[in-house]
Amino acid sequence: MSRGGVHADLADVPADELLHRPRGVDAVTGAAVWTAHLTAYGALAEVGRLAPGDHAVITAASSPVGLAAVRTARRLGAIPIALTRTGAKAERLRAAGAAEVVATDEGGAADRVLELTGGRGAAVVLDPVAGPALAETARTVAPGGTLVVYGWLAGPAPLPMNWPLNIHGFAVDHITDHPDRFRRARAFIESGLASGALVPDVDRVFDLADMARAHHHLESGARFGKVVVTVDH
């Protein structure tokens, strides 16, 4: 989408960047599934090596990637802890599979995560926010664990250099540009869709003519899951 652009009723893209929609998946679900779930699987399984019984902290948990990560962690046998700004979305996050929900606006989020993990911290922390709070987020990583940063919603961040952890910058190209990783990711996601373990959360659907409204809704912070734009031909 960064190279070719997709805000149009027709898009010209390379054939090798297209995927067949899995059997039984409708067009809206198909549009919602791939970027979020490829990112979640790649960060947690391929980079973080998340194992059964591990804790995974997922910030911005009501975002499409956050929700995909909650379900992906569950499917890997791990224990997802969802971080979100307020408690308003807590019940929906628990329904999506979060073992615990921590509201960051209430303060003390890192201490709460350490309490929930018996003082150890999480094996993997997945964060798209970064910014000045990244050093505090890093406190939730277990010694020797992995902090995966896949976005910069709050801008550049100081690196937490005084904590024994691994820090990875991640983009979905880490999966899509490597055939073996891509094959494993597709198998994981397609089998999860078929079993019902992975369910893309679609917040709202807009027509292409309402693209401006779709962007305003994205920027409002009110969404829970993916915003999809459709085109009628």
Give the domain ranges of the chain. 24-201
Q: Taking 70 as the threshold, does the pLDDT of residue 177 lie above it?
A: yes
pLDDT mean across residues, the chain? 92
Looking at residues 205-227, what average pLDDT do you find? Answer: 91
Q: Tens of pLDDT along 56-109?
A: 999 999 999 999 999 999 999 999 999 999 899 999 999 999 999 999 999 999
Residue 10: predicted pLDDT: 83
CATH 3.40.50.300 is held by the domain 24-201? no
Looking at residues 99-127, what average pLDDT do you find? Answer: 96
Element containing residue 226 per DSSP (H, E): strand 226-230
Q: Taking 80 as the threshold, does the pLDDT of residue 3 lie above it?
A: no
State the helix-helix crossing angle for 179-195 and 27-41, rounded to 10 degrees: 130
Q: Taking 60 as the threshold, does the pLDDT of residue 1 lie above it?
A: no
Residue with tokens 């067949």: 20
State the helix-helix crossing angle for 179-195 and 64-75, rounded to 10 degrees: 80
Residue 15 CB burial class (10 angstroms; 0-12, 13-18, ≥19): exposed
Looking at residues 26-40, what average pLDDT do you find? Answer: 93
Residue 148: predicted pLDDT: 97
Lowest mean pLDDT among 151-155, 157-161, 220-224: 157-161
Tokens of 83: 């971080």
Looking at residues 114-120, what average pLDDT do you find? Answer: 97
Q: Which amino acid is at 150?
A: Y
